[in-house]
């Protein structure tokens, strides 16, 4: 356990870095995923095609391949940034496809009559979506989208492995391979770090689910 | 119901004197190969109450839904108060607000309270202030006989109460015309009258109404005109009295014999 106690501040910083990636990744993929889901149900055919294509391509592409494309492909066509941003962007885009599908399941669970009644009182498409359909869809989408977001928290380790640096995964990596600490205790520390993010997230989701269930 | 004899029957004022409010001209609609609306010509005057009746699948719901463009149509025109319905978009949304719609399955917004159901449209579409909208909601709920339920959610109300709220929600937009698609057929028998009473009241107050219903009592009491549809066509149009006692077409005779004897 020396490996952990001696490097506690390293672990702590790694934890904070991972938490930041998770938070931005979560916000980004929820926003992007909602946008893509909106496209998929829009009354405009090209938007629907775009949304379907996005989900089909992204969802069937391994995250690591997407990361490679961002990190090494984009600089080839003249787009340069820190690995951190490339990694975060890839993570958000990858997760958005799954968020979209989770949301769409929720949207489909809202009866068509709700949207018709909204249109019948004169709400526009956007108002119908934001006032009537999405609020109800979010309720049923909390469990599936929650799972997607928690999976994303864990996927942030893949981004770390890619050289974002200083996140939990990278800390583990550098302690074991560069500084020769035993792998088991170090990786246990890394796992605890991730659990400190995912377990409260799971509890939060449960609370959220119960809260919206009552308000009905 | 406690209805006076037919001497105050609204059919006393002939439809011809009403200013045309909803005008359908040669409207055609298909669902794939199915020709659901065939050359529909129909003019509804201001203050007129038109009951649409006909066998299942004859296109009554489609007609209603086409009038405020919940369904598209291929040829022909529909004018509301002199303005032709545009395709999708902001303009259409605005015109739709002038056409109230009451559905068989109520379709109250499940995640909003009764009060919010009534204020959403006025606030978002008409730009009314929250206080004004709330005040109006209270008045309308009183008018449809729903009091002390304003802060409940739709699922906490009975079917009859929900449908009355749905009528109030449509009224909150101050519509020029109201469409009712079988408003009582999802209701338990003991709740039908409370909804029909509200509708009869509206008719008396001069609301222009298109009502798809098989409630003949309501048709006789409140309608100026009965439109009989069959196979996507308007087969017969006459006064309720005339239609129920002396139908002209064979299809109407056949239909009436079925609903009268069952
Ligand atoms: N969205 C749709 N897609 C395909 N066909 C449809 C659709 N909606 C209705 N139809 C068909 O169009 C025809 C007319 O339907 P509509 O609902 O207007 O009849 P209706 O007169 O209201 O019948 P009911 O008394 O059963 O309500 C029916 O044959 C129906 O199956
Ligand atoms: Mg119908």
Instruction: Give pLDDT tens digits for A87-140.
Output: 899 999 999 999 999 999 999 999 999 999 999 999 998 999 999 999 999 888
pLDDT at B261: 65
Q: Are strands B75-80 and B20-31 parallel, antiparallel or unpaired?
A: antiparallel
CA distance B156 to B158: 7
- Mean pLDDT, residues B146-175 taken together: 94
Range among A127-141, A178-192, B169-183 rated most confident: B169-183
What count of CB pairs under 8 Å joins A to B? 71
pLDDT, tens digit (0-9, with 9 covering 90-100), for B67-83: 988 999 999 999 999 98
Question: Cα–Cα distance between B255 and B262 in angstroms, integer?
Answer: 11
In this prediction, residue B14 carries a pLDDT of 46
Residues 6+ apart with CB under 8 A from B171: B100, B140, B143, B178, B202
Q: Is pLDDT above 60 for B3?
A: no
pLDDT at B8: 44
Question: How do beta strands B225-230 and B208-212 pair?
Answer: unpaired
HEC letters along chain B: CCCCCHHHCHHHCCHHHCCEEEEEEEEEEEECCEEEEEEEEEEEECCCEEEEECCCCCCHHHHHHHHCCCCCCCEEEEEECCEECCCCCHHHHHHHHCEEEECCCCCCCCCCCHHHHHHHHHHHCCCCCHHHHHHHHHHHHHHCCCCCCCCCCHHHCCHHHHHHHHHHHHHCCCCCEEEEECCCCCCCHHHHHHHHHHHHHHHHCCCEEEEECCCHHHHHHHCCEEEEEECCEEEEEECHHHHHHCCCCHHHHHHHHHHHHC
Pairing of strands B49-53, B75-80: unpaired
Write the residue with the smallest CA distance to atom 5 of ligand 1: B31
pLDDT digits (tens, 9 = 90+) for B194-218: 999 999 999 999 999 999 999 989 9
Q: Which residues of A touch B127 (CB under 8 A)?
A: none
Q: Which atom of ligand 1 is nearest to the CA of B55?
A: 25
* Selection from B84, B39, B81 nearest residue B63 by Cα: B39
**Interchain CB distance below 8 Å, A114 and B173:** no
Any idea which of A194-203, A207-216, B146-155 has the lowest mean pLDDT?
Answer: A207-216
Q: What is the CATH number of the domain that holds A127?
A: 1.10.3720.10
Q: Are strands B34-45 and B177-181 parallel, antiparallel or unpaired?
A: unpaired
In the structure, what pLDDT confidence band is assigned to residue B6 with cuts at 50, 70 and 90? very low
Per residue in B39-96, pLDDT tens?
999 999 999 999 999 999 999 999 999 998 899 999 999 999 998 888 777 788 888 9
Contacts of A124 in chain B (CB under 8 A): 90, 93
Number of domains in chain A: 1
Task: Give the pLDDT score at A17.
Answer: 87
Residue A13 confidence (pLDDT): 87
Task: Write out chain A residues lying below 8 Å of B173, CB-based.
Answer: 121-122
- CA A32/CA B50 separation, integer angstroms: 48
The dihedrals phi and psi of A44, each to the nearest 5 degrees, come to: -105, 120
Nearest CA to ligand 1 atom 1: B31
Segments forming the whole domain that contains residue A20: 2-215
Q: What are phi and psi of B27, to 5 degrees?
A: -85, 130
Higher pLDDT, A180 or B99: B99
Q: What is the mean pLDDT of residues B154-179?
A: 95
Sign of the C-alpha dihedral computed for residues A82, A84, A90 and A96 taken in this order: negative
Q: What percent of chain B has pLDDT over 70?
A: 92
The pLDDT tens digits for A32-70 are 999 999 999 988 899 999 999 999 999 999 998 998 888
Q: With 50 as the cut, is the pLDDT of residue B4 above it?
A: no
pLDDT on residue B7: 42
Is the pLDDT at A6 greater than 90? The verdict is: no
The count of other CB atoms within 10 Å of the CB of residue B117 is 26
3-state secondary structure B130-151: HHHHHHHHHHHHHHCCCCCCCC
Residue of B187, B190, B246, B232 lying closest to B214 (CA atoms): B187
Question: How far is the CA of B170 from the CAs of A18, B88, B101, B120, B204, in angstroms?
Answer: 51, 20, 6, 11, 17
Q: What distance in Å separates the CA atoms of residue A124 and residue A131, rounded to the nearest whole number?
A: 10
Spatial separation of the C-alpha atoms in residues A160 and A163, rounded to whole Å: 6
Tokens of residue B15, six digits: 């439809």
pLDDT(B12) > 50: no
Give the pTM: 0.83
* pLDDT the model gives residue A187: 87
Tell me which of A142 and A212 has the higher pLDDT.
Answer: A142
B93 touches chain A (CB under 8 A): yes
**In chain B, what residues touch A138 (CB-CB under 8 Å)?**
none
Residue A175 has what pLDDT? 86
CA B257 → CA B247, B261, B262, distances in Å? 11, 6, 9
Does A122 contact B100 at a Cβ distance shorter than 8 Å?
A: no
Q: Greater confidence, A27 or A4?
A: A27
Angle between helices A8-41 and A45-59 (to 10 degrees): 140
Check whether B229 has a pLDDT greater than 90: yes
- CB burial of residue B148 (10 Å; 0-12, 13-18, 19+): exposed
Q: Is residue B227 predicted with pLDDT exceeding 60?
A: yes
Hey, how many other C-beta atoms are within 10 angstroms of the C-beta on B73?
22
- Give the pLDDT score at A79: 84
Which residue, by CA, sits nearest to atom 28 of ligand 1?
B57
Query: Which among A43, A114, A116 is the nearest to B110, CB-wise?
Result: A114
Per-residue pLDDT at B79:
93
Say how far apart CA A146 and CA B14 lie, in whole Å.
Answer: 62
CA angle A20, A21, A22 (to 5 degrees): 90
Angle at A195 between CA A190 and CA A199, to 5 degrees: 170
pLDDT in tens, A145-177: 999 999 999 888 888 777 666 788 888 888 888
Please answer yes or no on whether A131 and B124 come within 8 Å at the CB atom: yes
Is the CB of residue B119 less than 8 Å from the CB of residue B59? no
User: What average pLDDT does the structure give for chain B?
Assistant: 90
B-chain residue closest to A125, CA distance: B89
Residues B106-122, mean pLDDT to the nearest whole number: 96
Confidence (pLDDT) at A215: 58
């Amino acid at each position: 356990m020396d490996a952990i106690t001696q490097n506690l501040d390293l672990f702590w910083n790694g934890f904070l870095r991972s938490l930041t990636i998770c938070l931005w990744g979560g916000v980004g993929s929820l926003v992007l995923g909602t946008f893509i889901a909106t496209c998929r149900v829009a009354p405009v055919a090209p938007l629907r095609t775009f949304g379907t294509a996005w989900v089909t391509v992204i969802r069937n592409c391994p995250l690591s391949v997407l990361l490679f494309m961002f990190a090494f492909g984009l600089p080839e066509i003249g787009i340069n940034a820190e690995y951190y941003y490339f990694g975060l962007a890839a993570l958000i885009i990858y997760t958005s496809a799954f968020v979209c599908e989770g949301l769409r399941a929720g949207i489909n669970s809202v009866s068509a009559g709700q949207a018709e009644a909204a249109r019948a009182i004169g709400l526009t498409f956007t108002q119908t979506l934001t006032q009537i359909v999405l609020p109800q869809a979010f309720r049923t989408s909390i469990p599936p989208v929650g799972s997607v977001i928690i999976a994303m928290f864990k996927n942030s380790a893949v981004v770390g492995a890619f050289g974002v640096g200083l996140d939990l995964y990278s800390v583990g990596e550098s302690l074991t391979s560069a500084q020769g600490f035993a792998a088991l205790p170090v990786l246990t520390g890394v796992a605890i770090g991730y659990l400190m993010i995912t377990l409260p997230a799971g509890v939060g989701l449960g609370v959220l689910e119960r809260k919206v269930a009552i308000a009905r | 119901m406690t209805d006076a004899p037919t001497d105050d029957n609204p059919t006393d004022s002939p439809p011809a004197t009403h200013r045309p409010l909803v005008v359908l001209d040669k409207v055609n609609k298909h669902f794939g190969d199915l020709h659901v609306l065939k050359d529909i010509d129909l003019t509804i005057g201001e203050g007129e109450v038109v009951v649409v009746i006909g066998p299942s699948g004859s296109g009554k719901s489609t007609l209603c839904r086409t009038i405020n463009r919940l369904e598209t149509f291929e040829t022909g025109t529909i004018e509301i108060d002199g303005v032709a319905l545009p395709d999708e978009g902001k303009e259409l949304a605005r015109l739709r607000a002038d056409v109230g719609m009451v559905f068989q399955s109520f379709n109250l917004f499940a995640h909003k309270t009764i009060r919010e159901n009534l204020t959403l449209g006025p606030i978002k579409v008409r730009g009314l202030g929250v206080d004004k909208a709330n005040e109006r909601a209270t008045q309308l709920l009183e008018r449809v006989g729903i009091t002390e339920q304003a802060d409940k959610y739709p699922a906490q109300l009975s079917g009859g109460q929900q449908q009355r709220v749905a009528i109030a929600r449509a009224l909150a937009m101050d519509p020029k015309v109201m469409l009712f698609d079988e408003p009582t057929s999802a209701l338990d028998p003991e709740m039908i009258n409370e909804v029909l009473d509200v509708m009869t009241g509206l008719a008396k107050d001069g609301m222009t109404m298109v009502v798809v219903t098989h409630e003949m009592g309501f048709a006789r009491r409140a309608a100026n005109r009965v439109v009989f549809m069959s196979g996507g066509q308007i087969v017969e149009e006459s006064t309720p009295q005339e239609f129920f006692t002396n139908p002209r077409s064979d299809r109407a005779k056949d239909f009436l014999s079925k609903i009268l004897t069952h």
